[in-house]
């Protein structure tokens, strides 16, 4: 399949890299349009794909047009592509907050998929939640699922409102984890551990705990109770987290991200 990326930013590059690594399409079947000359040179040099600055020209012969631009650039790009796309071309948008109805209207095109990947996609460990406009064909859905699947797991949903919810959980979620890891390392150093050792302890604990949840098949709450002995060190630590309303703060954070995602979509 021929694929065009409109925008060569971090997530677009992650998708491009994954497609090539998994052999879904060869470099000669992929083009990237980006206004930044340095980004174009970088992508051409590292991936061997065709690069240009003309969005219409880039999208002309593609089976799939991936919109990987910043939300503030969407109106301009839609104006450039409006009426230029053919019915057999699929538009795959990974723009946060951009709703399918707005994309279809702005592009004058009804074959649109909206997806929300996340940062771990850069190493093939991501998860993407996606949905499709009513006119998108089964073949086109297959294309979208295959592309998103190169970056990790993918989940199709029938209701677009789940995309904004996923944005707040899996889309923004890596930042929550990064902040937790950063804070736990700082806390470990504060009690006297060398920084390198603190980092290794924290990273392996987070990775191991995540894999343990997956492989045990048990709810996280049950696993937490298993490792919390009454009157022990873990119980004492959890008591402090409860006093600080850790769970409540996390719920507030996710709710704030969700509401922001809805506002971005108008």
> Tokens in use for 220?
């996280």
Q: Would the pTM count as exceeding 0.85?
A: yes
Burial class (CB in 10 A: 0-12, 13-18, 19+), 150: buried
Q: Interhelix angle for 173-190 vs 195-216, to 10°?
A: 130
- pLDDT score of 20 more than 70: yes
Same domain, 22 and 79: yes
Residue 2: HSE in the Cβ half-sphere, 13 Å Cα cutoff: 11
139 CB-side CA count, 13 A:
7
Which residue carries 């600080």 as its tokens? 244
Same domain? For 136 and 30 the reply is: yes
Kindly state whether residues 17 and 127 are assigned to the same domain: yes
Answer whether residue 168 is part of any domain.
no
Number of separate domains in the chain: 2
Percentage of the residues of the chain whose pLDDT score is greater than 90: 91
Residue numbers of the domain that contains 252: 173-264
For residues 225 and 229, give the distance between their C-alpha atoms in angstroms, rounded to a whole number. Answer: 8
152-208 pLDDT, tens digit each = 999 999 999 999 999 999 999 999 999 999 999 999 999 999 999 999 999 999 999
Domain limit, last residue, from 134, 163, 192: 163
């Amino acid at each position: 399949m021929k694929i065009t990326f409109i925008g060569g930013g971090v997530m677009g590059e992650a998708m491009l890299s994954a497609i090539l690594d998994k052999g879904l399409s060869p470099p000669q079947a992929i083009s990237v349009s980006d206004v930044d000359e340095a980004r174009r040179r970088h992508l051409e040099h590292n991936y061997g794909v065709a690069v240009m600055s003309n969005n219409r020209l880039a999208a002309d012969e593609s089976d799939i047009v991936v919109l990987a631009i910043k939300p503030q650039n969407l109106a301009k790009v839609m104006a450039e592509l409006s009426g230029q796309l053919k019915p057999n071309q699929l538009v795959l948008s990974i723009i946060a907050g951009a709703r399918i109805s707005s994309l279809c209207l702005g592009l004058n095109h009804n074959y649109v998929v909206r997806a929300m990947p996340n940062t771990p996609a850069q190493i093939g460990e991501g998860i993407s939640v996606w949905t499709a406009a009513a006119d998108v064909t089964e073949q086109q859905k297959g294309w979208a699922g295959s592309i998103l699947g190169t970056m990790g797991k993918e989940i199709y949903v029938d209701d677009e409102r789940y995309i904004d919810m996923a944005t707040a959980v899996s889309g923004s979620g890596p930042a929550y984890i990064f902040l937790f890891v950063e804070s736990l390392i700082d806390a470990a150093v504060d009690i006297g551990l060398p920084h390198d050792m603190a980092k290794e302890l924290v990273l392996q604990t987070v990775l191991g705990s995540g894999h343990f949840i997956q492989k045990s098949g048990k709810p996280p709450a049950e696993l937490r109770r298993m490792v919390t002995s009454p009157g022990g060190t873990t119980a004492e630590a959890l008591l402090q987290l409860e006093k600080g309303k850790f769970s409540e703060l996390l719920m507030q954070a996710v709710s704030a991200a969700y509401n922001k995602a809805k506002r971005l979509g108008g």
